[in-house]
Amino acid sequence: MTRIRYVEPCGRARDVEVDQGLSVMEGAILNMVPGIEAECGGACVCATCHVYVDEAYGSTLCPPNATEHEMLDTVASERRPTSRLSCQIKVVAALDGLTVYLPERQT
Amino acid sequence: MRPPRTISIVGGGHAAAQVVASLREEGYDGRLVLFNAEPQLPYHRPPLSKDFLKSAEPQLKLIRSQAFYQTAGVDLAIGRSVTAIDAGARRLVLAGGTSHSFDAVVLCTGARPRRPALEGTHLRGVMSLRNAEDALGIRSRIAAGSSVVILGGGFIGLEISAVLSELGLSVTIVEAADRVLAPAVAPEIGRFLEHLQRSWGVDIRLNSGANRLLGSDAVEAVELADGEILPAEMVIVAAGCDPNVDLAVAAGLACADGVLVDRSMRTSRLGILAAGDCVRGPRAGIADPIRLGSVQSAMEQARIAARTVVAKATPDQAVPWFWSDQRGTKLLMAGLAAGATREVVRGNVEEGRFSVFLFKDEHLAAIHSVNAASDHMAARRALAANLLITPDQVRDPAFDLQAWSQGDRDGGRSIQ
Ligand SMILES: Cc1cc2nc3c(=O)[nH]c(=O)nc-3n(C[C@H](O)[C@H](O)[C@H](O)COP(=O)(O)OP(=O)(O)OC[C@H]3O[C@@H](n4cnc5c(N)ncnc54)[C@H](O)[C@@H]3O)c2cc1C
Ligand code: FES
């Protein structure tokens, strides 16, 4: 289990234990963290699972692939350097303690 | 109108899961009961023809967790099929004869694979794919080197073919039309995917059809219309699907290849709504009501149905969109291509990264993209805002689609 912290736009934080191998998106859906729509279920085609990741983890995360990059151009809230699609972030031990910030809106 | 105290949902797919979620988000605090014929919580169907068939440990991806339904206070009747609706008495009848009263009901019964009238479809090894059980059945018959014939070159047929050929099966697709994915997808893209599939060793028979399926107990071969015999250990019927309207028809609801709904998802009977693959409804700018079969429209219709139940206004319809994935080649479609009069290609077909813009007269009606997510998303925004674009601009690589979709009419060209 790896602990992921989800912070809503209002500042409310939720710590969730996520099984390794699941995605950060799945961790949110399975634990009822609001603010992630994930319409496509993780196929990297809907851009409704947008999060901002904690900069401290920048080097631990695999960088976005080309498709994710393209989809990130289309997110409903502002795209920032820390923007990621949470369905593309696999939860591994090294990510223990990762904080992700949820954007204002996904659609 | 008095707010309903008990809302029943019939079905357990994307639409059903979204109806309960949206009802709670809209503030409905009465009783919610979800009747689902399948023995699981609602799960994502698209992976069934993609990763689920090939992953070592296939797992269904739930749309919402068990905890969600608990916290949302949804009574789950999982594995319970609704056999009749007594619209007058506002009761659902379940298999076994028990009945449940409701104040409002939302039908989310989805669709089922079409079974052509073909001799031999009862044979063992003749499969179709709609649910987890079907996918497990196909998985259990996967053996490298064995032969499979797929009847139908639509999305599901091509996706299954992509996976099974990758797993070493010898795959033949039999398609009646002169190209795959007709008429849904732009011909240019159909041809591209046909070549791609052929490069994987898939045998594609166009302008072809099955006469009958041969075998005594298990299927052994497909006899084509021209008499040719294709040996097959498995036959997958992927010839489209039909909406599940039996309940609605028996309850006297107006149906026409789909439960007929208005733009607020109301059927012809007060207190009965419907959403998802089972419905046929109106679409702005299109004369006749249409049936869409996609995750996006199921979710959107579910949200609208929930708003209607709690007497909130119906929002405008979003631009419909759909995706398909074949070994990582991503097909994305937005808008409605029916009736398009002109196709314009942007990008590089040889490199497998391009979009086809479909025009209806002067207006962009739809866009179909291969591995070009940013074209797709830009065009989706532009279709929603009814932006104008000319075929010349589409073809011009220097025309910036992103800028255009954000309201720059000249796509960044005017500053040059
Ligand atoms: C293999 C496959 C791949 C797909 N891939 C894509 C894709 O890549 N992209 C995309 O956008 N769409 C895709 N789709 C389509 C998408 O899955 C559907 O549009 C979507 O599932 C529709 O949701 P729904 O809730 O309307 O119906 P369904 O998901 O069909 O759910 C209907 C549910 O109702 C239940 N039910 C029916 N009758 C009764 C009854 N009388 N009592 C109780 N329960 C009942 C059924 O058992 C079922 O669980 C795919 C579909 C399949 C089958
Ligand atoms: S869930 Fe759709 S892109 Fe992440």
Q: Which CATH number goes with the domain that contains A13?
A: 3.10.20.30
Spatial distance between the Cα atoms of B331 and B350, rounded to a whole number of angstroms: 15
Provide the token pair at B405. 């979709």
Q: Is residue A60 part of a domain?
A: yes
**Facing B330 at nearest CB: one of A31, A41, A67:** A67
Asked if the ipTM is above 0.95, the reply is: no
Q: What is the pLDDT along chain B (416 residues), one digit of tens a residue?
A: 566 899 999 999 999 999 999 999 899 999 999 999 999 999 999 999 999 999 998 999 999 989 899 999 999 999 999 999 999 999 999 988 899 999 999 999 999 999 999 999 999 999 999 999 999 999 999 999 999 999 999 999 999 999 999 999 999 999 999 999 999 999 999 999 999 999 999 999 999 999 999 999 999 999 999 999 999 999 999 999 999 999 999 999 999 999 999 999 999 999 999 999 999 999 988 889 999 999 999 999 999 999 999 999 999 999 999 999 999 999 999 999 988 999 999 999 999 999 999 999 999 999 999 999 989 989 988 999 999 999 999 999 999 998 899 888 888 775 44
Q: Is residue A106 part of a domain?
A: no
Q: Is residue A107 part of a domain?
A: no
Spatial distance between the Cα atoms of B23 and A107, rounded to a whole number of angstroms: 18
Spatial distance between the Cα atoms of B259 and B280, rounded to a whole number of angstroms: 6
According to the model, what pLDDT value does residue B222 have?
98
According to the model, what pLDDT value does residue B285 have?
81
Q: Whose CA is nearest to atom 22 of ligand 1?
A: B277
Pocket of ligand 1 (CB under 6 A): B 10-16, 35-38, 45-46, 48-49, 81-82, 108-111, 129-130, 156, 244, 247, 276-277, 293-296, 298, 322-324
Provide the token pair at A57. 């983890």
Q: Is residue A61 part of a domain?
A: yes
Q: Is residue A59 part of a domain?
A: yes
Q: Which residues of B touch A40 (CB under 8 A)?
A: 46, 295, 323
Q: Is residue A24 part of a domain?
A: yes
A89 alpha carbon to ligand 2 midpoint, in Å?
A: 11
- Against a cut of 0.90, is the pTM above it? yes
Looking at chain A, which residue has its C-alpha nearest residue B333?
A45
According to the model, what pLDDT value does residue B416 have?
44
Extended strands (E) in B179-294: 203-205, 210-215, 219-224, 229-231, 234-237, 241-243, 259-260, 272-274, 279-283, 286-290
- Domain extent at residue A17: 2-101
Q: Could you tell me whether strands B104-107 and B272-274 are parallel, antiparallel, or unpaired per DSSP bridges?
A: parallel
Q: Which residues of B touch A47 (CB under 8 A)?
A: 377
Q: Which residues make Cβ contacts (< 8 Å) with residue B303, sequence separation at least 6?
A: B18, B22
The domain total for chain A is 1
Spatial distance between the Cα atoms of A50 and A27, rounded to a whole number of angstroms: 14
According to the model, what pLDDT value does residue B374 have?
87
Largest CA distance in chain A: 32
Q: Is residue A18 part of a domain?
A: yes
Q: In sequence order, what are the beta bridge partners of B364?
A: B359
Q: Do residues B137 and B231 make contact, with C-beta atoms less than 8 angstroms apart? A: no
Q: Which residues make Cβ contacts (< 8 Å) with residue B200, sequence separation at least 6?
A: B162, B165, B166, B327
Residues of A within an 8 Å Cβ radius of B: 26, 29-32, 39-43, 45, 47, 67, 70-71, 73-74
